[in-house]
Structures are given as C-alpha cells and as structure tokens.
Amino acid sequence: MRTYRRYAFPSLARIRAASEQLDGFTAPDEVGQRSEQLHVPPAAELLDEARHAGYADGFAAGEQVGAEGARRDVRSALDALVAPVDALIRGFQCAQQAYRAKVRSEVAELVGDVSRQVVRAELETRPERILAFVDEAVGTLTKPPESVSVRLNPADYARLAEAAPDRVQGWQLVPDDRLEPGECRVRADDIEMDAGCGQRLVACIERITSQLAHAHAEDSDGVPA
C-alpha cells in the first residue's frame, strides 16, 4: 500500500524575505552603469594618466637641475675669462705705479744735479756766499761762541781768499780736501755743524719728492679703480 507525504506551501513571509535578498545583489552590467554615472575612469586610463604625470614631474625636476648646472658652468666660464683680464689690469697698475715712482726719482735727481751746478756756479762767482752759510750756522747758537773754525774745500778757500781777503782774516779758515766744493764744517767751541750746501740740497730734494708723491696721491684718488 503506497504512502503519501503531505506537501505544505512555504509561508508568504519566507517568500518575501528571499525576494528582498535577491534584490540586494547588483548585476555586473549595473556595476558598469553605476561607475559611468560616478565618472570613475577605468584602470587603463588611470595608469596612463599616472604615467604622464610622472613624466611631467620628472621633466620639470630635470629641467631645473640642468638650468642650475648651466648657470654654474656659465659663471665658471666667465670667471675663467675675467681672471686673466683682472691680472692684466693689476699688472698694468703696478707697472704704472713703478713708472711714476721712477719718474719722481728721476725728477728729484735731475733737480739735485741742476741745483748743485747752480750752487757751484754761484760759489765760483760769489765765493763769499760760503761765509754767509757760516754766519747762518753760528746764528743758530744760543750764545756767541768764543772760538770759531771753518773747514772748507781748498778750491773754495782759494777763491774766497782772493775775492774777500778782509773777511778771510776775520775767520779761522782751514782748507780740507776731504770736503766737496760748496761744503764746509763749522766748529764753534765744542759744537760742530754742517754749514755747506749738501744738506740744503738734500732737504730741497726731499721736499720736492714729497710734493711729487702728494700730487700723485691726489691724482690716484681722482681716478676710479
């Protein structure tokens, strides 16, 4: 004898729950449609954009580094070009200063030579000028000396004795061949003085040299470096 199992229809609540669960899953086509609605590019496009962005950033960084290197190279090249010019200018300035110093020295020497010749000619025509130098030297003393002796060149002594014998008798003159023409030494008591032309010429030449150097310094200050 056959047996039968009773069939029961599922409840309406279970059917609704299963239907809602199926509605929660989205089909693949719907995923693509929703991605397009949200404007999300696909993976290949994102990769290409990233590649282009990386290339642009790398190019900009490389361009900056290259520009800095180029500027350094230009500065180095300019320094290399300017250095010889600066050295040439310094050499020219040193040569110019040396030349001017030589000219000042030659001018002072020329003045000394001319002055000595003038003095020598003056003493040959007016030998009594030596006694004027002696009077000037003795006049610098604080009190009149008790004794005065004058040593001078023999040629000057001979001319002086011939031109002014009366004045020679008033002084104790001693010829000394160690002295140059125009030179004389005065001994007043225990004090000995140089009353000749040499020290006067030296002072004159030093003054001229100082004036030339001062004029050169003023010219140098007025010229831009």
pLDDT at residue 176, rounded to an integer: 93
For residue 33, is pLDDT > 60? Answer: no
User: What whole-number distance in Å separates Cα of residue 34 and Cα of residue 111?
Assistant: 111
On whether both 209 and 111 belong to a single domain, the answer is yes
User: CA-based angle 181:182:187, to the nearest 5?
Assistant: 110
pLDDT digits (tens, 9 = 90+) for 87-125: 888 887 788 778 877 877 787 777 777 777 777 777 777
Q: pLDDT over 70 for what percent of the chain?
A: 67
pLDDT at residue 175, rounded to an integer: 92
pLDDT at residue 23, rounded to an integer: 54
Strand 184-188 versus strand 148-152 pairing type: antiparallel
Residue 68 lies in a domain: yes
pLDDT at residue 225, rounded to an integer: 43
On whether both 206 and 110 belong to a single domain, the answer is yes
pTM: 0.46
pLDDT at residue 31, rounded to an integer: 46
Residue 172 lies in a domain: yes
* Residue 148, strand partner residues: 188
On whether both 115 and 148 belong to a single domain, the answer is no
On whether both 100 and 206 belong to a single domain, the answer is yes
Poorest-confidence range of 35-44, 97-106, 174-183, 198-207?
35-44
User: What whole-number distance in Å separates Cα of residue 30 and Cα of residue 95?
Assistant: 94
Average of per-residue pLDDT across 188-201: 84
On whether both 153 and 185 belong to a single domain, the answer is yes
Poorest-confidence range of 2-11, 85-94, 178-187?
2-11
Strand 172-175 versus strand 148-152 pairing type: parallel
pLDDT digits (tens, 9 = 90+) for 66-75: 777 777 777 7
Residue 8 lies in a domain: no
On whether both 158 and 113 belong to a single domain, the answer is no
Domain count, the chain: 2
List the domain range (segments joined by +) for residue 173. 127-194
On whether both 181 and 80 belong to a single domain, the answer is no
pLDDT at residue 99, rounded to an integer: 80
pLDDT at residue 154, rounded to an integer: 92
Residue 9 vs residue 134, higher pLDDT: 134
pLDDT at residue 48, rounded to an integer: 67
